[in-house]
Structure 1
Amino acid sequence: MAAKGTESEAGGPAPGEAGEALFVLLGAGVTLLSHPLIYAKLLIQVGHEPLSPVEGTNLLGRKVLYLPGFFTYARHIVQVDGRMGLFRGLAPRLVSSALCTMTRGSMKKVCPLEDMEHVSNKDDMRTSLRKVVRETSHEMVTQCVSRIISHPFHVISVRCMVQFVGREMKYSSVLSSIGKIFKEEGILGFFVGLVPYLLGDALFLWCCNLMSHFINTYAVDDNQLRQASVIRSYTKFIMGIAVAMLTCPFLLVGNLMAINNCGLVAGLPPYSPVFSSWIQCWKSLAAQGLLFRGSTLFFRRLPASKY
């Protein structure tokens, strides 16, 4: 009987644990590769424009002023801080990513949900819609829990990165940053900017899942399209790209609130107003037409108000 023992009984990792560890490693790899992009995007979101715009032409041949794109911006960071400067704030972001992955895995074990089956028959619309609502609700709870648990490290990562603006060293390591935030702002300091992030997550999940469901049910017909199953497999991905634009203002406001009045140049006047709430921040950006600032890293036109 001893010879038939499982690997986990012999001291090795169980299949589920190995799979979870693999997802954590893959997530860390994606986080590492995407960090320079996220870093440049964050600096653009907070309004840091150290380089002058250049003149170019649009599709109609008219002359317009373009702000530096990602590659030009990244080159500037390298010139100031060296190549390793592109990875400022990476450590807390890796911790945040790992916590997200592990939390989602634990939630699936604690609250499992049966696989959703697509219903192509329009007469079963009510039944299939009920399943989509149940699935999306489950996804939303999982996403919200993982967001809440990982958010403190997201705040630390954001603050580490925006120190580039004022050349500060207030937030140097994960542990020292935890101590500073707790001492200056208390427990709530770890959750600044959380609400707009949660709202953005909920908006993304519901819009993406419902739009995909209606398209797959009404627009994709099994009897007329041979590749219907293939098309359905890409619908959610395509909808995700489209819906992601709707969440940009929520991510922007969340990041600005994460650095709001925290003692860094990027979050204080005259560089940035001090906001009493994320709603005030939203209204201020909306009034200036800046709710989608940082939504793109290429072909960034200079706002008309700055001409």
Structure 2
Amino acid sequence: MAEQNQPQNDDPFLGLAPEEEKFAKNLTAKCVLGAISQPLTVTRILIQLGHEPFALSTGKTLIVAGRNAYFLPNAFSYMRQLANTQGLGVLWTGLDSAIISLIAQGIASHNTERYIDEYYPNIGGAPENIDKEEDVLSDHESFKRVLRSAIRDSVVRVAAITASRPFTVVLIRQIAQLIGKEVKYTTTFKSLGLIGSQEGPAGLFSGLAPQILGELVVIWGVHSLTYALQRTLLRTEIGNTKQADENAVKSAKDVQKFVKTAVPFVVNSFGYPYGVVSCVMAVAGSGLAVSFLPYSPSFVTWHNAWDYLRPNGLKRGARLFLREQVGAVTVGTDSQLYASNSYFA
């Protein structure tokens, strides 16, 4: 009787098994967050494409100190001015493609990870010392674990990026056509059909190579730097978790956690330029105004885009604030100064 009176807390979500339920809830949360942050996505993609239609301001490079410089509007000012000039709805351009891309990426990542865990557990090495703490492993054991994790993470991310790339291409093109006020790419699946018929499979996966390279740079950079810092810290007093003092041990563990949190922020900056090139290549062959002169030359390969962007463009959109204009400046018809990212600048 007591068992019958107990509340049932284990009802499955949508009839899913616990693992699938957790995945579904996480994916739903990502989609909701993606929808909320879509205005930032629109802003970032336009900036990565070099679209800077708003007036510059002047200031100091260190806010109150440093040299004088011209500054582009910060991301939120850019967003506000974009909404004022083209309407509030423009900030959610490409939302359908963004959500579908997240879903495709999430499903591909989840299924690939589960598949290799079940059928190929030895990819990257034998699954040894998986759940052990870092401080009980030797350098060699820790290295083997890190190497295995990096290899398996690479496989999963490449599969996820490849599966979602066609939707990412559509998303970028839907946003890119705002620059020339075009309406070539409408809904996600109509756009997929249009790209497929006009450009073939290559068009659906344009910009895939630099996106994958950028992800691999981040994955291997994070694993390598985290390994090096953690093993070094274990040899110092600040990171030694085998001390007698409990407070010192707690501080050491906090330092180790901080390393795991901080390293990705540092390494992401090295992968960011590949994301910019990937974005630019996504519109190559699209026929949109942004893919032609004077906006940019027509790129045959992503290496051409990299070389063209190398002087000033590889960090487009990397900052939300203090976006210094380091390239050419032109005077507008309203006598204000504007960034000039055109090919002829």
Letter in 1 for 2:132: E
1:290 and 2:318 correspond = no
CA distance in 2, matches of 1:210, 1:117: 18
Q: How big is the shift at 1:61?
A: 4.9
* Correspondences of 1:40-51 after superposition (within 5 Å): 40-51=43-54
Alignment of 1:194-213 (within 5 A): 194-213=208-227
2:35 aligned partner, one-letter code: L
User: What is the Cα deviation at residue 7 of structure 1?
Assistant: 6.7
1:120 partner SS: helix
Does structure 1 retain, via aligned residues, the 8 Å contact 2:206–2:281? yes
Which residue matches 2:165?
A: 151
Deviation at 1:305, TM superposition (A): 4.1
Task: Give % identity.
Answer: 27
Q: What's the offset of the Cα at 1:52?
A: 1.2
Asked whether the equivalents of residues 54 and 68 of structure 1 are also in contact (C-alpha less than 8 Å), the reply is yes
Partner of 1:82: 87
* Distance (Å, rounded) in 2 between the aligned partners of 1:256 and 1:267: 8
- Per the alignment, residue 173 of structure 1 pairs with 187
CA contact (8 A) 1:119 1:125 kept: no
Instruction: Give the Å deviation of 1:253.
Output: 0.4
Residue of structure 2 equivalent to 1:125: 139
What SS does the aligned partner of 2:38 have? helix
Q: Which runs of 5+ in 2 are unaligned?
A: 5-9, 122-126, 234-238, 331-345
- Give the Cα–Cα distance (whole angstroms) in 2 for the partners of residues 294 and 14 of structure 1: 41
Q: Is the 8 A contact 1:208 1:239 kept in 2?
A: yes
Say what the alpha-carbon RMSD is for the aligned residues. Answer: 2.0
Is the Cα contact below 8 Å between 1:69 and 1:300 reproduced in 2? Answer: yes
Partner amino acid, structure 1, of 2:39? P
Shift of 1:304: 4.8
Q: Alpha carbons of 1:280 and 1:53: their partners in 2 closer, same or farther (altered >3 Å)?
A: same
In structure 1, what is the Cα distance between the partners aligned to 2:188 and 2:327?
A: 40
Name the counterpart of 1:261: 285
Provide the residue aligned with 2:232 in structure 1.
Answer: 218
Q: Which residue does 2:59 correspond to in 1?
A: 56
Q: Higher Cα Rg: structure 1 or 2?
A: 2
Q: Distance in 2 between matches of 1:134 and 1:263?
A: 43
Q: Distance in 1 between matches of 2:60 and 2:255?
A: 37
Where does structure 1 differ by over 6 angstroms across 4 or more consecutive aligned residues?
none
